[in-house]
Structure 1
Amino acid sequence: MKVVIIGGDAAGMSAAMEIVRNNPDAQIVVLEQGEVYSYGQCGLPYVINGKVPHTDDLIARDVEEFREKYGIDARIFHKVTAIDTKLKKVSGIDVNSGESFEFLYDKLLIATGAAPTIPRVENADIQGIHTVKTIPQMEALMRELPQVKHVTVVGGGYIGLEVAETVRERGLAVRIIQRGKQLMTALDPKLAQIVLEEAQRNGIDVLLNESLLGFKGETHVEAVRTATGIYETDLVIMATGVRPNTQFAAGFAKLENGALIVNEQMETSIEDVYAAGDCATQYHRIKQQVDYLPLGSTANKQGRIAGLNIAGFEQKYQGIVGTSILKFFDLHIGMTGLNNAEADQLHALVETYEMEVNDIAGYYPNVRPMNIRMLVEQQSRQLLGMQAVGKNGVDKRIDVFATALYNDMTFEDLLHLDLAYAPPFSGVWDAIMQMPKRYGKK
């Protein structure tokens, strides 16, 4: 069996390794546009502040290991430009030599990830404007950072906050420019306010409701221009979202943003073609529909399922509940399930519960507050979502609630959970078990 995998990072190589383990006779060719295989993209921001000493530390397995130890024909600088699904042929160019290539396949996996989106604004191509999705992009940023004093981050989501924090920890002045009315648009407003105050407490200048128009500077960026003003800066990091790398994949069923629609086996709409990772959709268990929430953990799991199915072992991807977490200075910001806006889109009749609780036993030293917000379906009492912001213990509560969501638990079921208790870790009633004030219909 000839297997071609397009993309050599999380989803692609998770799939490749499952095929190697379960179908050793398969001939595997991996076509990677860049030169780096199997690295931890989510760790890139921490290279900026030195918590990850070097980008090489993010590489799990290099291309030579895949070739020599596992017998995978791992190519670099191979950019795929077209797929002929009738002839079962992949074609493209070597980005170094310019030479064309073609590979036939029996099974094909598209694992091309997603690329940062850059708004179409004035002077977006001048020097000093960076994105941080790949190791070469981070290395380019790191070469320039020692010469700058002020950095502007465009975008106040996950990546925007992470790079704002790590740049600030280098001692540089930082400004965040956000198009919306709050940081972290996925958070409900009261919790987003806590995040804003944390940014300001750490000396970050935050500009909300700002529409980006372009950049000023002849060859290198000197200022950011918005609808309301011009803001001088030495360097810009763009964190305005990502878009699936699927432009070359014609004839497939896709979401509006280009994500390839897949089923439980990670199969696309075309026979013998699979997709996984940031270029593909995920089934959302709470929404009960396909969604797009690109995360590294999801990419690895989807790649594993795709690889097992390609190898001949039928496996189903069970979907997501929308779980994520973020560190921002002293805050931990976690969420799982639906937020208010998503509940509205589903026309769900919900009750909202909000509470400020202690992260550990109230009498134990260093107790700290945690703000929690829950959404519960009004009639069935089904759990719908939770968000939490605090300085400690957020990860535990979010993971417990995510597990409860996965298992279709109700609000009252939380009281029956047998959770770990000792004063340094929790109150006798855990934070998510304390009956909060009822706010009624949202």
Structure 2
Amino acid sequence: MRIIVIGGVAAGTKAAAKAHRVDPNNEIILYQDESEVSYSACGLPYVISGVIADERKVIIRQPEDFAKDGIQVFIRHRVLGIDTGKQQLTVRNLQNNTDFIVSYDRLIIATGARPIVPNIEGITLEGVLTLRNIADLARFKTLLSTVQPQKAVIIGAGYIGLELAETFHELNITTTIIEKAPRILPKSDPEMAQLVHDHLLENQVEIILGDGLAKLDGNNGRVTSVETECGKIIPADLVVIAIGAKPNVELAKEADIELGITGAIAVDSRMETNIPGIYAAGDCCETVNRITGATTWMPLGDIANLQGRVAGENVAGGDAHFPGVFGTAIFKTFKLTVAMTGLSEQSALESGLDPISIKTEGSDRARYYPGKQDFSLKLIADRKDGRLLGAQAIGLGSVDKMIDIAATALLGKLTCSDLENADLAYSPPFSPVLSPIIVAAGVLHSKLSKLSLTG
């Protein structure tokens, strides 16, 4: 059986490798329109800052590595069309600009996503960049070495924008962030986002909220300033567009593969599309929120790998299922680690739930132990039964540990009462005697108990 995978960054390469492990007798071909496969896009900001000195480190595997397993990887090959009736692909070799047709028995679409770029005046000027792939990284490195920018403007205050704010600070580039929403990190609750806002200001990052990008001005083909919708003019020799991404679904749409309500490819729990034998995985497809049951689009690297693994097993004859996501995410900006899982209080309300929450302060070690670091932790629960709905943590300590515990609690559908009695590891170098998440769960449980007594 011939299995073809379209796309080779996260989901595609994971799917190809899994399909080979399930049945090594299958012929597996992967087409990737970029010059590299199997790289970590999440590591690119750290290459730009110099934290990762060798950019080749973010490339996990090369085509020849896959070849050792019998997987044929063709870089710089773009799939132009899918004929689902004939089970054929039209492919263009971008190296010599020739087209050919290849047949398949089963297919995995892992075409990923691309940055949203507004169609405004000046958007094609030199110095206006996005950061999504290795080619974008090359453009960044060229600009930094030739122009040596002094003033950067980042459009968008999500994860990528805030990671790059730190990156530019490390490179001594004065930075302004412009965010159309009334606060940064719109997916976080306001009081948690404010902690990050204040930290950015402490690190000399200018923040403009409630304003958007109107146009870009330039000289001799190179960007020189940003004009906002409110009329502000901000000098800039580097502009980064980081207002979000959209799934690459044109290929699927033209082949009458069904798109879902989010605009991404619709799949079932087996990652199969509406056309039998055609699967999709990663940033190009939808998934399900495991708390609300609602269809969602969650373009995150770990999710792409998990979905790719399921698609790869099933395309080779298995019966694996992907249950959906909680939206667990984490990033770093300056000294702060910012992490979240599940629903925010705001999103819980929007989903028709009745949330109750608490915000506590904690530390990652015993209070007397050297090197103790502090963080803020917010837990959200369902007022009806105390079931945990989400968590957000921001600070200097082991924020990742708190969120991973919370994500596991969501997986087990634990209540605050369950979580406050969790048996977690303790030793002064690693935790207070009661983990901050145990304490927070206890406070939230008490709040719920008082409400039930008074109600």
Shorter-chain TM-score range: over 0.9
Specify the alignment match of 2:124 in structure 1: 125
Runs of 4 or more consecutive aligned structure 1 residues displaced over 6 Å after TM superposition: none
1:98-113 matches, within 5 Å, as 98-113=97-112
C-alpha distance in 2, partners of 1:192/1:282? 26
What's the offset of the Cα at 1:256?
4.3
How far has the Cα of 1:416 moved from its partner? 1.6
- 2:349 corresponds to: 344
Aligned amino acid, residue 145 of structure 1 = L
How far apart are 1:93 and its partner, in Å? 2.3
Equivalent residue number for residue 149 of structure 2: 148
- Is the counterpart of residue 261 in structure 1 residue 266 in structure 2? yes
Partner of 1:248: 251
- Structure 2 equivalent of residue 187 of structure 1: 188
Q: Structure 1 residue 436 and structure 2 residue 447: aligned?
A: no
How many residue pairs match? The answer is 440
Match of 1:234 in 2: 237
Structure 1: 5+ residue stretches without partners: none
* Aligned with residue 294 of structure 2, among 289, 292, 303: 289
Residue 373 of structure 1: CA displacement? Answer: 1.2
Q: Aligned partners of 2:225, 2:182: CA distance in 1, in Å?
A: 22
Distance in 2, matches of 1:97 and 1:311, equals 32
Moved more, 144-153 or 90-99: 90-99
For residues 274 and 404 of structure 2, the distance between their equivalents in structure 1, rounded to whole angstroms, comes to 33
After TM superposition, give the deviation of residue 242 of structure 1 in Å.
Answer: 0.8
Secondary structure at the aligned position of 1:266 is classed as coil
Would you say the 8 A contact 2:372–2:397 is kept in 1?
no
Q: What residue in structure 1 maps to residue 92 of structure 2?
A: 93
Shift of 1:353: 1.4
**Matched residue type, 2:252:** A
CA distance in 1, matches of 2:353, 2:173: 45
- Contact 2:261/2:295 (8 A) holds in 1: no
CA shift, 1:367, in A, is 3.0
Normalized against structure 1, the TM-score is what? 0.96
One-letter identity of the residue aligned with 1:407: G
Alignment of 1:17-36 (within 5 A): 17-36=17-36
**Cα distance change of structure 1 residues 404 and 128 upon mapping to structure 2, 3 Å threshold:** same
Indicate whether 1:278 and 2:280 are aligned: no
Deviation at 1:164, TM superposition (A): 1.2
Equivalent residue number for residue 374 of structure 1: 379
Stretches of structure 2 that go unaligned for 5 or more consecutive residues are none
Residue-by-residue CA offset, 1:379-398 (whole Å, 9 max, x unaligned): 11111001111101111010
1:30-429 equivalent positions in 2, closer than 5 A: 30-67=30-67, 69-146=68-145, 147-218=148-219, 219-228=221-230, 229-250=232-253, 251-429=256-434
Equivalent-residue separation in structure 2 for 1:79 and 1:232 (angstroms): 38
| CA offset digits 1:206-248 (Å, max 9, x no partner) | 1111111110014111001102211001111111111111112
Letter in 2 for 1:225: E
Question: Given that residues 243 and 257 in structure 1 are in contact (C-alpha distance below 8 angstroms), is that contact kept between their aligned partners in structure 2?
Answer: no
Partner SS for 1:249 = helix
SS in 2 for 1:348: coil
**Cα distance in 2, alignment partners of residues 47 and 413 from structure 1:** 42
- Counterpart code for 2:39: Y
Summarize deviations over 1:255-306 as a string: whole Å, max 9, x none. Answer: 3443111111110111110000111112221121321111111111111111
Bigger Cα displacement from structure 2, 249-258 vs 52-61: 249-258
Q: Give the partner amino acid of 2:52.
A: V
- CA distance in structure 2 between the aligned counterparts of 1:313 and 1:304, rounded to whole angstroms: 11
Q: How far apart are residue 201 of structure 1 and its match?
A: 0.9
CA distance in structure 1 between the partners assigned to 2:396 and 2:320 by the alignment: 39
Kept in 2: contact 1:35–1:77 (CA 8 A) = yes
Cα distance between partner residues in 1 of 2:80 and 2:178? 35
Asked whether the equivalents of residues 422 and 428 of structure 1 are also in contact (C-alpha less than 8 Å), the reply is yes
CA distance in 1, matches of 2:4, 2:111: 12
Mapped to 2, the partners of 1:103 and 1:55 lie a distance apart of 34
Query: C-alpha separation between the residues in 2 aligned to 1:198 and 1:107?
Result: 50
What is the deviation of 1:94? 2.5
Aligned counterparts of 1:74 and 1:358: Cα–Cα separation in 2: 47
TM-score (norm 2): 0.94
- Distance in 1 (alpha carbons) for counterparts of 2:215 and 2:183: 21
Question: Is the CA contact (8 Å cut-off) linking 1:354 and 1:436 kept in structure 2?
Answer: no
Q: Deviations over 1:41-61 (max 9, x none)?
A: 110000111111132111111
In the alignment, residue 92 of structure 1 is paired with which amino acid?
Answer: V
Q: Match of 1:222, SS?
A: strand
Describe the SS at the equivalent of 2:341. strand
Distance in 1 (alpha carbons) for counterparts of 2:385 and 2:193: 29
Query: How far does the alpha carbon of each residue in 1:297-329 deviate from its partner, in whole angstroms, 9 at most, with x for none?
Result: 111111111111111121111322110111111
2:364 partner letter: D
The answer to whether the 8 Å contact 1:55/1:135 transfers is no
| Deviation of the 1:173 alpha carbon | 1.1
Query: In structure 2, what residue type is equivalent to 1:224?
Result: V
Larger mean CA deviation between 155-164 and 252-261 belongs to 252-261
| C-alpha distance in structure 1 between counterparts of 2:263 and 2:141, whole Å | 31
